[in-house]
Amino acid sequence: MISVVINTLNEEENIRDCIVSTKGFADEIVVCDMRSDDRTVELARTMGARVVLHDRVGFVEPARRFAIASASYEWVLVLDAYERLTPVLADKLRDLSADESVDVVSFWSLYWYFGGWIHHGGFFNGNWRRFFRKNVYLESYKESEKSVHMNFDALRDHPRTRYLESDFHILHLAYPSIEKYCSKTLGFYGALEGRQYFEAGIQPSVVKLLWQPVREFLVRFLLRQGFRDGMRGFVLAVLYSGYRFSVWANCWFASIEKHSSGDVSDHY
């Protein structure tokens, strides 16, 4: 049997459609809510989900681990509220859950960026190890899960993983506008990842600030053929390079914050 786990914080606009996309697939839906201010919990319960609560944290971990541990069944599918399960993927995952030789399934994620789907630039990829046996995840969990974009890292090299073709994907609707991308990715994730680098002892440098954004643009737009997505692909490649700049700029800023008194009153 299969549990679908969804972590939420103020997702009243998304939670209903997310749950609807899992109907006929999930034997249980667990919504782990970080004490939303809107109607997320009410709507989730109306849709038949079991709601568990977790205090708000700066990053979805450890709430994600808590949510998975709260699932009742052997197999777990992890979704975010702005993601949708497609029927073709649902059928495939249901079949694989009966395969005793499989513990983890890696499928694809198709992103909706700025009014259209993105198929190139490395943004449409099959590295989403989001369907697994619950005990395998809990037994292999490690601290690196708490780093930005490193969720399910412990499952990366699991020997009993089935890798699916690109036809089997979820729909990822996180970035309907450039404003949302800038606030969430360049702003929130850039600051969070930069501080995590600093706390891990990774040093910023002018070379990293300059070269990594340039390299990311060249790789995304040219090598991985982001140009095939037209102007949308170009804008996304530029913004992603800006994200890498934001990470190193925030890492640098964390270092000067630590060595500064923070008292500007002496200058007045």
3-state secondary structure labels for all residues of 79-139: EECCEECCHHHHHHHHHHCCCCCCCEEEEEEEEEECCEEECCCCCCEEEEEEEEEHHHHHH
pLDDT of residue 166: 96
Contacts of 233 (CB under 8 A, 6+ apart): 118, 120, 121, 221, 226, 227
User: Confidence class of residue 83 from pLDDT cuts 50, 70 and 90?
Assistant: very high
Bridge-based pairing state of the strands 2-8 and 28-33: parallel
Whether pLDDT at 196 is above 50: yes
Predicted confidence (pLDDT) per residue in 94-148, tens digit: 999 999 999 999 999 999 999 999 999 999 988 899 999 999 999 887 766 666 5
Q: What is the pTM of this model?
A: 0.88
Predicted confidence (pLDDT) per residue in 9-47, tens digit: 999 999 999 999 999 999 999 999 999 999 999 999 999
Contacts of 205 (CB under 8 A, 6+ apart): 248
Amino acid identity of 130?
A: R
Judge contact between 101 and 36, C-beta under 8 A: no
pLDDT of residue 69: 94
Nearest-10 crossing angle of helices 230-258, 190-199? 40
Residue bearing the bigger pLDDT, 127 or 241: 241
- Report the C-alpha gap between 236 and 29 in whole angstroms: 33
Cα torsion 127, 130, 133, 135 to 10°: value is 100
Range scoring the smallest mean pLDDT among 92-96, 152-156, 227-231: 152-156
Q: What is the mean pLDDT of the chain?
A: 91
pLDDT of residue 208: 93
Judge contact between 253 and 194, C-beta under 8 A: yes
pLDDT of residue 11: 95
Q: What is the pLDDT averaged over residues 194-211?
A: 92
User: Confidence class of residue 268 from pLDDT cuts 50, 70 and 90?
Assistant: very low
- Report the C-alpha gap between 216 and 69 in whole angstroms: 36
Q: Give the SS3 label for residue 196.
A: helix
Short-list 147, 120, 124, CA closest to 220: 120
Predicted confidence (pLDDT) per residue in 38-75, tens digit: 999 999 999 999 999 999 876 667 788 899 999 999 99
